[in-house]
Structure 1
């Protein structure tokens, strides 16, 4: 990500000329680019955890609602039946 800062800084210096105003503009643009790049990287890094949280909530709600309890009891009965019949 530092390369974005360097490229943005030098491009802005070339476009605006080397002056105090140019340096300030270059710093502002580079800061914005680094901020957006960091946010993008953070979203990519956290995406698997966000998906895992969504799946966990979906599974929890699927088995704790009244319809979900029926499904859970049916699953428990199937497991009990398999254990009685020696599925291993």
Structure 2
């Protein structure tokens, strides 16, 4: 077994380090149709989701193979998620 431990993709500290707080303000990162335009969902996030190439979005070839972490609303937080509260606790230093 290797001496170095690779972080798991769902470790809250790893995810918090990869999340840009400004991105959270933009809302859910899922792509969806809004009338005639294809745009970001933008609904309030409830979780941080790992967006991967097999999610089927038009720009999926721009994602790295391992995916990226970004905000997801209740509708789009259906897999590969960590609750937003957990990530915010890590970002804020869990001040409880």
TM-score (norm 2): 0.23
Which fold has the larger relative contact order, with Cα–Cα distance below 8 Å and residues 6 or more apart in sequence? 2
Larger Rg: 1 or 2?
A: 1
User: What TM-score comes out, normalization by structure 1 length?
Assistant: 0.24
Higher helix share: 1
| Higher relative strand content | 2
